Amino acid sequence: TVAPFWPTCVICSRTRTVHFSSLKIRKTNVVSVMSPAGCPHVNGFKVDNWKQNLRVIYQCFVWSGSAETRKRKAKSCICHMCGAHLNRLHSCLSCVFFGCFTKKHIHEHAKNKRHNLAIDLLYGGIYCFVCQDYIYDKDMEQIAKEEQRKYFFPVVCMSGVGEKYSTWEPTKRELELLRHNPKRRKITTNCTIGLRGLINLGNTCFMNCIVQALTHTPLLRDFFLSDRHKCEMQSNSCLVCEMSQLFQEFYSGHRSPHIPFRLLHLVWTHARHLAGYEQQDAHEFLIAALDVLHRHCKDDNGKKANNPNNCNCIIDQIFTGGLQSDVTCQVCHGVSTTIDPFWDISLDLPGSSTPFWPLSPGGDGSTLNGESHLSGATTLTDCLRRFTRPEHLGSSAKIKCSGCHSYQESTKQLTMKKLPIVACFHLKRFEHSAKLRRKIPTYVSFPLELDMTPFMASSKESRMNGQYQQSVDVFNNDNKYSLFAVVNHQGTLESGHYTTFIRQHKDQWFKCDDAVITKASIKDVLDSEGYLLFYHKQFLEYE
């Protein structure tokens, strides 16, 4: 058994203490960081009027319950090194200094001044730079609770905004585990926890590769490991409950391959078109799995999440984006716009029966999204350019224009209105038509980091004749993504096999081939054929 695990916060991406208290966890790749008495560096702060000083910080710069304190916080809380308001601002507890946690300005201050403790000015957590983790101290926590109730809860509850925040406190069972297991363990950069093979149950590699990608999706992992799912179905029929159990298995520390027979049974039950031991398409399984998870989740109001346009379930929070379709009349130039939700983007490839417009710059050595065009290879950016280019619908597909009040020829253009947190790109390698069924082996170059700004609806006016005039905005990271999983297909349409590359840490990649997991290089990943590409937004700080 494993004690509860508190991973990175789903909302604020703030690292919480990782509690692995079971004696059965292997000691490989872990280090001891704390004693059962808590952080030993707090005592250096508890001198003179430390309680009053801490109360002042909570009153003025953390909870900010009154209008006056909110104005003071907005005016005063800036990084003393770069002047920024954001980037997880922390305040030193030993002197008057505010610094960015993200840019490590508070770290530099702590190292130079030997001031070990700082407080998160957004959430009130106290960080120890020696332990390199957020810490728990009973006395400090009591002060935080008292000031929070006094200055925060009345404002929030009376206005009806938000919900009551309750800090974590260990249960009797957890305290017993902490007493019997004095050493705390922390995940290190070379730790392999979370890596676990999956037994092939008979042509089920299509399922195994998607499970590996989902279990390494940062926000989805945090949701399930923090026990956020509250089920009202029968547990033996809920796919979300089974996924929750699957995440616990993956991050339990066990290294033997897992047998996902219950997951396979539930998939067969809820997606009957995938039942049986025939070979299936991994992309089709991904969409079916997301659909069932979406239907089994609940939104914030406790209603079934059956509306993808207005749903608060974890699946839609992570994977749903908005695709804008603009249809322009060729006579009056009136534009009809619709926005549809999407979980993935399917991209045509050169070599298919669908005409492919070669959009790569020709031999000029230009680079977009880190993809070089010198080799002449098709890039992911090329596919996205084709996907978002204006398309003339022709005389056989006339639409009734609301301006002309008659059927007219038109052009259609797709752009991204809203980007999802996790973007999945499906390269359409399997072609099924009345004339032929085949696999398209065209190599597509894809980057480790992807900027989706050129394909946003807001960038549409910058397009001229289908070519995007790129502008560089180094300060805008909202549209930038990092690659974290790649699903590949080897073989032919009739006989093939799926594998997955997943990123464990920033520069550490592993190849998952059913029950076998091996170390992979970044070159192995980028040289692979690519079938499904998974990117998450860079602002999540999961690097």
Annotated catalytic sites, by residue? Answer: 205, 497
How would you write 241-303 as a 3-class SS string?
HHHHHHHHHHCCCCCCCECCHHHHHHHHHHCHHHCCCCCCCHHHHHHHHHHHHHHHCECCCCC
- Contact predicate 482/470, CB 8 Å: no
- Contact predicate 166/144, CB 8 Å: no
Phi first, then psi: give them for residue 404, nearest 5 degrees: -85, -20
Beta strand 422-427 with 345-347 is parallel
Q: Which residue has the tokens 């998939």?
A: 267
- DSSP code of 25? S
- Contact predicate 129/116, CB 8 Å: yes
- Contact predicate 336/326, CB 8 Å: yes
- Contact predicate 479/211, CB 8 Å: no
Say which amino acid occupies 40.
P
Distance CA 420, CA 318 (A): 6
Beta bridge partners of 491: 496
Residue 228: other Cβ atoms inside 10 A: 11
How would you write 396-442 as a 3-class SS string?
HHCEEECCCCEEECEEEEEEEEECCCEEEEEECCEEECCCCEEECCC
Distance CA 371, CA 533 (A): 15
Distance CA 183, CA 117 (A): 22
Classify 443 in phi/psi space as left (phi over 0), alpha (psi -120 to 50) or beta.
Answer: beta
- Contact predicate 18/186, CB 8 Å: yes
Distance CA 198, CA 137 (A): 41
Q: Which residue has the tokens 């379930």?
A: 313
Task: Identify the sign of the CA torsion 398, 401, 407, 410.
Answer: negative
Beta bridge partners of 129: none
Sequence-ordered list of residues with C-beta below 8 angstroms from that of 181, at least 6 positions apart, any chain: 3, 21, 22, 23
